[in-house]
């Protein structure tokens, strides 16, 4: 192995510590900026159609799961009410379904929100990365007090293309990345539990933004309502009631 | 199982609420805890809340100790004051709140509520309409509007509003229940039956809905309805473990009504011994708990040919 590298204490004072402090400050700043940019009043006025569709789905699900508790006639009337092909509550015309899909993607409000979210995440990250790259590239900034395998070289020595340096030395750019992803715990301490700027979660949100589609769940609910058989549970309950009364009389 | 656990904890909480109430009323401290618990349980104990809360509000050091929580306290006290018709107190509280939060919907709701408490219906309606303009899906405001119509005694408007409300929020079973009760009071039993079916669908294990549905069906009459009603009385018996006297009577009455209609021609019901069991349980209960009324009940059952 190569002999020990001696790290200048100036590196500690002028690279390691400033980098960490700057990362923390940027995280805090980003939190306040994203709070400012967040659109006021989370959802000013939800689409009446969406509200109604959500409620229809709940009610239809109730009907599907508890159908055995109402008489057959009542069940049939409701089934027709929900699923008939002309104006049933769960019936979604084909062209409208497609339109809904299109509207989802072209909704300017939603796109705007996402833009803001992404902006508050990407812009500072690019800037800090450029800054770190410009001023601190090529430093060995720290040494981890225990040995590591070669696999960690990509993670800890980003920006140093020397295969002879021991893996436990950390380059400045890698230190930046470690800070970027490792400060979440600190942020949740500073900014309160739920306020932590969680990059990983934001990434998730970005992917799942288009997840819920009420029109689709309407269709699914309709299909499952179509196939269920009505089996009235009340006659059975009548027999159970007899047993209950017999028990009472025995006492 | 989960429901049982939940019930147990609420019972525990209620006991705690009463204990804290006692303590707070007699100046033993714990006032803020009591108010928090009352708010969480949505317990409606306006007189106590008003007394305890007002004492806390008038105590400047205690109030500032609550920091931003004091506004919640103002709101709570305002509500309690309106319940007790202490409109002056309510007005003061709401005045403080509206100075602190100008343009807030929550405060606007309180102001409208104050109009309601004063009985100024048209003012209240105008205030609610203003809130709805900005936020057309405010369920509380919609419900308040229904309550205003009900307070004025105009049942047809109540039904109208409720139907409009349910068209949008059709999964709100409290509204279904209100509509069902309104229909019953208007003697529109067919519609009421529909509402109760809806309630049974939403919460099939609550015996109250079963028995209410059975009662509506029994009132409508007709062989089919009576037979269905008897089944729902039976399910109430099952769900309550036979503790519901009304359901026991219901089974007996349904049987006798069915017998009268069929004049003994329809023998398919004979296989069931539910009615005689119900009659026996009734008799036993009366013997245990109200011996003086036993002759009444036994003669009634004899009239129904059930014993």
ipTM of the predicted structure? 0.75
A42 domain residue, yes or no: yes
In a domain, B81, yes or no: yes
At A202-231, the pLDDT tens digits run 544 544 444 456 667 788 888 888 888 888
Instruction: List the one residue out of B228, B249, B267, B234 whose CA is nearest residue B306.
Output: B249
| Contact A40/B at CB under 8 A | no
Q: What is the pLDDT of residue B271?
A: 57
Per-residue pLDDT for A152 more than 80? yes
**SS3 assignment, position A190:** helix
Residue A163: inside a domain: yes
The structure tokens 């004979």 sit at: B270
The residue among B69, B90, B111 that closes a domain is B90
Mutate to test the interface with B, among A43, A77, A238, A251 (most CBs of B within 10 A): A238
Q: Which two tokens stand for residue B150?
A: 């009900």
Q: Which of B90, B107, B128 is the last residue of a domain?
A: B90
- Distance separating alpha carbons of residues B217 and B233, to the nearest angstrom: 10
Residue A245's CB is within 10 A of a number of other CB atoms, namely: 26
Query: What pLDDT score does A145 carry?
Result: 86
Residue A66 pLDDT > 70: yes
Q: Return the pLDDT at A45.
A: 56
Residues 61-80 of A with CB under 8 A from B: 62-63, 66-67, 69-71, 74, 78
Q: What is the domain count for chain A? A: 1
Write out the residue range of the structural domain in which residue B244 sits. 205-262+274-307
Token code pair at residue B209: 């809905």
* Residue A129: inside a domain: yes
Do the domain assignments include residue B82? yes
Amino acid B211: pLDDT: 94
Low-confidence ranges of chain B (pLDDT < 50): 1
Whether residue B39 lies inside any domain: the answer is: yes
Give contacts of B 261-300 with A, CB under 8 A: 272-274, 277-278, 280-281, 284
Query: Does the pLDDT value for residue A188 go beyond 60?
Result: yes
The pLDDT of residue A95 is 66
User: What integer best gives the mean pLDDT of chain B?
Assistant: 87
Q: How many domains does chain B fold into? A: 2
Residue B238 lies in a domain: yes
CA distance B189 to chain A (A): 14
pLDDT at B7: 63
Encoded tokens for B141: 């405001």
* Cβ contact B274–A245 (<8 Å): yes
Question: Could you tell me which residues are beta bridge partners of residue A143?
Answer: A169
- Which residue segment(s) compose the domain that A117 sits in? 9-250
Q: Is residue B195 domain-resident? A: no
Residues 6+ apart with CB under 8 A from B271: none
Q: Residues 193 to 252 of B: which have CB under 8 A from any A CB? A: 194, 197-198, 200-202, 204, 228, 230-232, 234-235, 237-238, 241-242
């Amino acid at each position: 192995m190569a002999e020990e590298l001696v790290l200048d204490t100036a590196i500690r004072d002028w690279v390691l510590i400033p980098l960490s402090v700057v990362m923390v400050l940027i995280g805090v700043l980003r939190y306040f900026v994203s709070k400012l940019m967040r659109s006021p009043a989370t959802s000013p006025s939800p689409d009446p159609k969406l509200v109604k569709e959500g409620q229809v789905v709940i009610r239809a699900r109730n009907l599907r799961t508890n159908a055995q508790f109402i008489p057959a006639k009542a069940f049939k009337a409701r089934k027709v009410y929900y699923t008939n092909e002309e104006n049933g509550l769960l019936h979604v015309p084909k062209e409208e379904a497609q339109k809904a899909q299109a509207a989802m993607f072209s909704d300017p409000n939603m796109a705007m929100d996402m833009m803001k979210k992404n902006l508050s995440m990407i812009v500072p990250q690019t800037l800090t990365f450029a800054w770190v790259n410009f001023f601190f590239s090529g430093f060995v900034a720290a040494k981890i007090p225990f040995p590591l395998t070669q696999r960690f070289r990509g993670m800890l020595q980003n920006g140093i293309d020397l295969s002879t340096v021991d893996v436990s030395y950390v380059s400045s750019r890698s230190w930046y990345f470690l800070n970027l992803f490792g400060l979440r715990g600190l942020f949740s301490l500073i900014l309160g539990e739920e306020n932590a700027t969680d990059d990983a979660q934001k990434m998730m949100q970005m992917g799942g933004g288009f997840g819920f589609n009420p029109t689709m769940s309407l269709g699914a609910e309709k299909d499952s309502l179509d196939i269920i058989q009505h089996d009235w549970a009340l006659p059975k309950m009548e027999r159970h009631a007899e047993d209950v009364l017999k028990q009472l009389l025995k006492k | 199982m989960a429901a049982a656990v939940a019930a147990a904890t609420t019972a525990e909480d209620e006991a705690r609420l009463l204990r804290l109430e006692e303590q707070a009323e007699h100046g033993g401290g714990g006032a803020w805890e009591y108010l928090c618990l009352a708010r969480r349980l949505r317990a409606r104990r306006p007189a106590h809340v008003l007394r305890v809360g007002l004492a806390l509000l008038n105590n400047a050091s205690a109030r500032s100790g609550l920091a931003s929580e004091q506004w919640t306290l103002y709101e709570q006290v305002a509500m309690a004051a309106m319940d007790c018709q202490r409109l002056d107190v309510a007005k003061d509280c709401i005045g403080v709140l509206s100075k602190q939060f100008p343009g807030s919907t929550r405060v606007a709701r309180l102001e409208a509520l104050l109009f309601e408490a004063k009985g100024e219906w048209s003012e209240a309606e105008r205030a609610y309409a203003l809130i709805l303009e900005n936020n057309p899906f405010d369920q509380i405001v919609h419900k308040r509007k229904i309550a205003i119509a009900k307070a004025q005694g105009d049942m047809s408007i109540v039904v109208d509003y409720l139907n409009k409300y349910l068209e949008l929020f059709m999964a709100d079973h409290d509204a279904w229940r209100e509509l069902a009760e309104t229909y019953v009071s208007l003697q529109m039993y067919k519609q009421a039956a529909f509402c109760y079916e809806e309630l049974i669908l939403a919460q099939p294990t609550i015996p109250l809905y079963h028995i209410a549905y059975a009662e509506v069906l029994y009132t409508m009459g007709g062989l089919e309805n009576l037979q269905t009603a008897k089944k729902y009385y039976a399910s109430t018996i099952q769900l309550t473990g036979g503790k519901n006297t009304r359901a026991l009577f219901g089974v007996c009455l349904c049987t006798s009504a069915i017998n009268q209609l069929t004049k003994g021609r329809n023998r398919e019901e004979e296989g069931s011994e539910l009615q005689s069991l119900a009659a026996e349980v009734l008799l036993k209960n009366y013997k245990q708990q109200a011996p003086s009324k036993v002759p009444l009940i036994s003669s009634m059952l004899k009239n129904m040919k059930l014993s």
